[in-house]
Amino acid sequence: MAETRKVAIVGSARIPFTRGHTGYAAESNLSMMGAALGGLAERFNLKGEKIDEVMGGAVIAHSRDFNLAREAALDAGFSPRTPGTNLQIACGTSLQAALTLGAKIATGEIDSGIATGSDTVSDSPVVFGDKFQHRMIDLSRARTGGERLKVFKGFSFGELKPVAPSTQEPRTGLSMGQHCELMAREWGITREDQDALALKSHRNAAKAYDEGFHDDLIVPFAGVLKDNNVRADTTLEKMATMKPAFDKSSGKGTLTAANSTPLTDGASSVLLASEEWAKARGLPILAYLTIGQVAANNFAAGEGLLMAPTIAVSEMLRRSNLTFADIDLFEIHEAFAAQVLATLKAWKDPEYNRKVLDRETPLGEIDPEKINVKGSSLAYGHPFAATGARILGMTAKMLNTEQKQRALISVCTAGGMGVTALVERAA
């Protein structure tokens, strides 16, 4: 069996992220993903080149998006011999795509791959209830006028009411925000601590922009030049005026629009390769994707919808024989400030470590100055499938520019799952 190869992270490109129904109101998953991939092709002179596989997807997708990765790769200008594979694991989609492609590169199946993700709430599918949908299917199969009239027997105009897009978990009927409120109460996460974390995210992101960190990462698209959710001028006083967003009646709600990610449109991409493939084309190697882990928990029984990354990180570090002390940077996706804070508390809680992580000694505490040093999803926004690739691309650049050795990425997802990865700087 051939020796496994290193998986090089060459670089990344994404379009600016925008709040839903703003800059990309007229765009689609395909146009956004195509733009992100096109920016990557332009930056690394890959127009017309064959990439061994483009893999990614979208969480909120139309039926027309069934071949999204392939179509976007063609729109981006890669060789028509570039295959595209659709993949979806909620908010972990593009990170999971990177891990899957990385495994293929490591084993020699492919030499190059692009992980990508796109999501838009502005172009959410509008669907009708089951009864009217079945009528439309029957209508498409009808062959005579009589058969067509029969389709509408008993029809009422109430059937035309669209089914609103929903983020409710099918097994609980609760939204992600409602689940996170439960987590905040369980772990004693205060509104003040959530707002403080959100403020830090915005300030770190604004500073990163001021320093030019994003200049070679972001591709202007549809007239948008930068993320429009970053609030350099926000304050704790402004945040304190926000009303609870998910628990509006009990008087105990702590999650607000200020300490939760907004509904966001955007797309991102990351180029992975073998060292030989990158060097043959004179391309940089910023870092290496070394290992990943996916985990899930029994959230429907009360284990915390967004707590599965605690398990994935624990298992990944156990496999790597590493501890938090061996990590220089932590990139923890900020779906909600409360989710990040609950995760950090769980890792240092002895009982949680024993019962859930099967550890006699807690993973421990993380230095806050090592966490999301350039800001994260609370500031940039969170187009579900695109977030993993955004984080992976930023992480590789940070390790390279700041001469740090190792970074840990953690992404929580719907369905009580978590996707994690370790990245190491190229020597």
Cα 4 versus chain centre, distance: 27
Catalytic residue among 21, 91, 134, 202: 91
In angstroms, rounded to a whole number, what is the distance separating the alpha carbons of residues 211 and 22? 26
Q: Which residues contact 318 (CB under 8 A, 6 or more apart)?
A: none
Backbone φ and ψ for 168, nearest 5 degrees, come out as: -70, 140
Query: Is 26 in contact with 283 (CB distance < 8 Å)?
Result: no
Residue in the block written with tokens 């058969």: 147
Tokens of residue 272, six digits: 């992975």
Tell me how far CA of residue 68 lies from CA of 32, 74, 81, 388, in angstroms. 11, 10, 16, 17
3-state secondary structure 174-239: CCHHHHHHHHHHHHCCCHHHHHHHHHHHHHHHHHHHHCCCCCCCECCECCECCCCCCCCCCCHHHH
Token couple for 7: 């998986």
Q: Which H or E element spans position 167?
A: none
C-alpha 372: how far from chain center = 15
Q: Could you tell me the two tokens for 170?
A: 């099918």
- Residue 412 annotated to the active site: yes
Q: Cα separation of 368 and 330, whole Å?
A: 9
Both tokens of residue 261?
């990610």
Q: Retrieve residue 45's tokens.
A: 């002179």
Beta-carbon neighbour count of residue 154 at 10 Å? 7
- Give catalytic residue positions: 91, 382, 412
